[in-house]
């Protein structure tokens, strides 16, 4: 229906606007940064996105975000062990970065609060589109995080783990990484905690010419937390990025992935698993721009839905007119295991160049009965057989990552989830 309505502010919108006036004096930033914060809060004042905004069609944030907790100065998040043993850990506890930074050769780490204060972080604070609500929320409130610069030619032998840990209240964090020319790195972005927090987290990655990175997002918030996250990347010439997203928690989760290939020969791989349980809502939305010729991308997303969980995957591939010879493929497969669960998917192709090969596939189904029969005929009871099939369905995506330590670490996380929800 297109009947005119005059929007009234929801309690959550009011709480955010009030929180901004309260926090304003505590937020770091020079004039440029503060002006960007003003613009961002103006965007929030005009209302959180509803299902009428196409990119928020399945996640009506205005309706779903019912409560916004106050900032909690007493919250004390505990540090946790990294996903891959031996990683260099850069923790952000309750939205505050650490003053004791590890010294690693070839890496320069800066606290983001410093870069906000001197204004050098300002250019990254711009939203990427008119409906960038997560970007606006984060820009308005972000107080800390890290800026990591991996020098040209550096090859890291251990992963760097960026931890964003909460213990209630609100945390707004930004994690920026540049991987220099020809450098190689594995970065783990860890999102966890134990409170009923509102978390906004924006990650920015810049891959210079020939850089190679594997970025793992491991999101394991408790089912009381609202987690609004964004991952933005620019891929330079011949740069290669493998992004792995694992969502295994959170009450209301939206993970946006915004990737742009800006140099010829860039190659982007996205692998994602969404493990959904309970009465939760999880949305993964990807916007991928092929902006130059000769770039490639493949995306595979696997979802498991149990309980009363609702899942969403939206993936849009834009192939610009100049981006001839693009090769883009996307698949989204969902196992819907309960009658109360729900999954919606919208894989989009927007193509303006003719010499391309693009495709997408999406399926939603339950466990294949013939597979189940095969296992049960071999004496495996139904519950275990189901468990095996579901695990195989998602583990397939993990096994594609060719680093053994990472595969093992992720399978441990997977087993943990199945033990708790299987």
Partner 1 sequence: MPAVQDTIDRVRKIDVDQYKYGFQTEIAMDKAPKGLSEDIIRFISAKKDEPSWMLEWRLEAYRRWVTLDEPKWARVHYPKIDFQDLYYYAAPKSTPGPTSLSDVDPELLRVYEKLGIPLREQEILAGVQKTDASELEEPSDNVYKSGRVAVDAVFDSVSVVTTFKKELAQAGVIFCSISEAIREHPELVKKYLGSVVPTSDNFYATLNSAVFTDGSFVFVPKGVRCPMELSTYFRMNEKNTGQFERTLIIAEEGAYVSYLEGCTAPQRDENQLHAAVVELIALDDAEIKYSTVQNWYPGDAEGKGGIYNFVTKRGDCRGHRSKISWTQVETGSAITWKYPSCILRGDDSSGEFYSIAVSNGYQQVDSGTKMIHLGKNTSSRIISKGIAAGFSQNTYRGQVSAHRKATNARNFTNCDSLLIGDQCGAHTVPYMEAKNATAQFEHEATTSKISEDQKFYVMQRGIPEEEAIALIVNGFVKDVIQQLPMEFAVEAQKLIGISLEGSVG
Q: Which residues bind partner 1 (CB under 8 A)?
A: 1-4, 54, 57-58, 321, 324, 334, 336-339, 341-366
Is the Cβ of residue 198 or residue 312 nearer to partner 1 in the bound state? Answer: 312
Helix (H, G, I), strand (E, B) or coil at 359: strand
Least gap, CB of 383 to partner 1 (angstroms): 16
Query: Of 76, 72, 149, 141, whose CA–CA distance to 111 is shortest?
Result: 149
Least gap, CB of 313 to partner 1 (angstroms): 9
Is the Cβ of residue 353 or residue 405 nearer to partner 1 in the bound state? Answer: 353
8 Å CB contact between 57 and 50: no
Least gap, CB of 54 to partner 1 (angstroms): 7
Is the Cβ of residue 102 or residue 359 nearer to partner 1 in the bound state? Answer: 359
Is the Cβ of residue 53 or residue 380 nearer to partner 1 in the bound state? Answer: 53
Helix (H, G, I), strand (E, B) or coil at 215: strand
Is the Cβ of residue 124 or residue 347 nearer to partner 1 in the bound state? Answer: 347
Strand-pair category, 144-150 with 107-111: antiparallel
Is the Cβ of residue 203 or residue 334 nearer to partner 1 in the bound state? Answer: 334
Least gap, CB of 279 to partner 1 (angstroms): 15
8 Å CB contact between 214 and 183: no
Least gap, CB of 86 to partner 1 (angstroms): 42
SS (H, E, C) 300-332: EEEEEECCCCEEEEEEEEEECCCCCCCEEEEEE
Task: Round to whole Å and give the CA distance between 234 and 177.
Answer: 11
Query: Of 200, 174, 221, 218, whose CA–CA distance to 77 is shortest?
Result: 221
Task: Round to whole Å and give the CA distance between 400 and 387.
Answer: 20
Least gap, CB of 143 to partner 1 (angstroms): 37
Least gap, CB of 353 to partner 1 (angstroms): 6
Is the Cβ of residue 57 or residue 158 nearer to partner 1 in the bound state? Answer: 57
């Amino acid at each position: 229906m297109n009947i005119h309505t005059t929007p009234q502010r929801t309690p959550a919108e009011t709480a955010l606007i009030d929180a901004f006036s309260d926090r304003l004096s505590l937020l770091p930033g020079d004039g440029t940064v503060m002006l960007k914060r003003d613009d961002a809060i103006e965007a929030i004042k005009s209302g959180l996105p509803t299902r009428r905004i196409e990119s928020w069609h399945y996640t009506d944030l205005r309706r779903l975000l019912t409560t916004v907790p106050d900032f909690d100065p007493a919250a004390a998040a505990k540090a946790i062990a990294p996903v891959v043993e031996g990683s260099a850990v850069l923790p952000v506890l309750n939205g505050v970065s650490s003053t004791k930074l590890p010294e690693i050769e070839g890496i320069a780490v800066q606290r983001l609060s410093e870069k906000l204060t001197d204004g050098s972080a300002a250019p990254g604070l711009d939203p990427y589109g008119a409906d960038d609500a997560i970007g606006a929320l984060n820009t308005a409130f972000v107080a800390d995080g890290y800026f990591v610069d991996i020098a040209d030619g550096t090859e890291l032998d251990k992963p760097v783990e960026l931890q964003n840990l909460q213990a209630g209240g609100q945390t707004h964090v930004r994690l920026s990484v540049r991987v220099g020319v020809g450098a190689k790195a594995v970065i783990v972005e860890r999102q966890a905690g134990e409170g009923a927090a509102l978390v906004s987290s924006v990650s920015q990655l810049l891959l210079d010419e020939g850089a190679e990175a594997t970025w793992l997002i491991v999101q394991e918030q408790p089912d009381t937390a609202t987690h609004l996250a964004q991952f933005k990347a620019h891929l330079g010439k011949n740069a290669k990025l493998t992004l792995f997203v694992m969502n295994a928690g959170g009450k209301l989760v939206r993970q946006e992935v915004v990737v742009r290939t800006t140099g010829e020969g860039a190659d982007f791989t996205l692998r994602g698993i969404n493990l959904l349980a309970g009465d939760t809502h999880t949305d993964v939305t990807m916007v991928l721009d092929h902006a130059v010729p000769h770039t490639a991308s493949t995306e595979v997303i696997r979802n498991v839905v149990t309980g009363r969980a609702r899942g969403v995957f939206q993936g849009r591939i834009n192939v610009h007119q100049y981006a001839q010879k693009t090769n883009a493929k996307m698949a989204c497969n969902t196992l819907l295991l309960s009658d109360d669960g729900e999954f919606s998917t919208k894989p989009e192709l927007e193509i303006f160049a003719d010499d391309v090969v693009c495709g997408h596939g999406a399926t939603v189904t339950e466990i294949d009965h013939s597979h189940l029969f095969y296992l049960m005929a071999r004496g495996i009871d139904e519950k275990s057989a189901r468990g095996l099939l579901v695990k195989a369905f998602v583990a397939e995506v993990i096994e594609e990552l060719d680093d053994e330590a990472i595969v093992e670490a992720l399978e441990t996380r997977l087993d943990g989830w199945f033990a708790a929800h299987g």
